[in-house]
Copies of this chain bind each other. A is one copy, B any other.
Amino acid sequence: MTLQGKTKQQIVTEFRCAEILEAARTVFAGKGFDATTIDEIAHAAGVAKGTIYLYYPSKREIYWAALQAGVDELYAETTRRVAAVESTRDKVRAFVQTKIEYCDLHRDFFCIYYSAASEVLSGPPERLEVTALYRQQLDLLERMFEAGRARGEIRDVDSARLAVAVFEITRGLITHRLLGRAGGDPRHDVDFAVDLIWTGVTRT
C-alpha cells in the first residue's frame, strides 16, 4: 500500500489510463469517432495497439470514457459555481462562464462533446445514454429558472425552452471560439449571453 491506500499497481494503471485517454481525446477531437483508428490513438499515446486493449475493452468505450470524464468534471464545477451565487441572473452567468472557461482549458474535450451532442439525432443506438449526458445540464438550467420564477426574479417563460435556449446559445458562442473567431476575453461572450437572455435586443 502507498498513498491514498492504493497499491503501486493501481497507481500505474490509473496513470496509463489517463495517458491513453488524453491521446484519444486529441485524436478524436481532430477527426471524429469513425475516422479515428485505434492505431492512431496508440501511436499518439506512445504505446502499441495491444496495450490499449489492456486498459479499455473497445474503441467505443474509450470514446465514452473521454466524454464521460469531461462531462462529469464540467458538471461538478458548474453546479459548484452555480450554487455559490444567489440570484438567478448570477447563476445563469456562472453556468455560461464555467463552460466557456472550461472550453478554453480543454478545447479537445469540447470538440468531442459537441460532436457527440448531435449524435442524439442520427447516431448509434447508444443515443439514449448520450441524451442523458445533456439532460442533466438542461435539468439544472430548468430548475434554476423554475426557482427564479417562483421568486419573482424572472417573468413567466417556459422553463424547458429557456433551458434549451441557454444551452444552445452557449454552444454557439463556444463553437465560434473554437473556430478561431472571437478568441478574446471569455467575459465578452459571457456578458453578451447574459445580457441577451435578460433584456433581449429591445432598445432601452
On A, residues with C-beta under 8 Å from B are 28-35, 110-112, 114-115, 117-124, 131, 145, 148, 152-155, 157-158, 160-162, 164-165, 167-169, 171-173, 175-176, 178-179, 181-182, 189, 192-193, 195-204
Contact = CB atoms under 8 A, between A and B. Distances in A.
A118 B114 contact: yes
Contacts of A114: 118, 121
B118 A118 contact: yes
A115 B111 CA distance: 13
A83 B67 CA distance: 43
A131 B145 CA distance: 33
Given A119-B32, A123-B32, A201 B152 contact: no
Contacts of A167: 172
Residue of A111, A158, A161, A171 with most chain B CB atoms under a 10 A cut-off: A161
B204 A122 contact: no
A116 to B, nearest CB: 9
A164 to B, nearest CB: 4
A201 B161 contact: no
Contact of A111 (B121, B153, B168): B121
Nearest to A36: B122
A201 B115 contact: no
Given A122-B30, A169-B169, A196 B200 contact: yes
Nearest to A92: B201
A131 B189 CA distance: 21
Contacts of A115: 118-119, 121-123
A192 B122 contact: no
B197 A196 contact: yes
Contact of A122 (B29, B164, B182): B29
A60 to B, nearest CB: 12
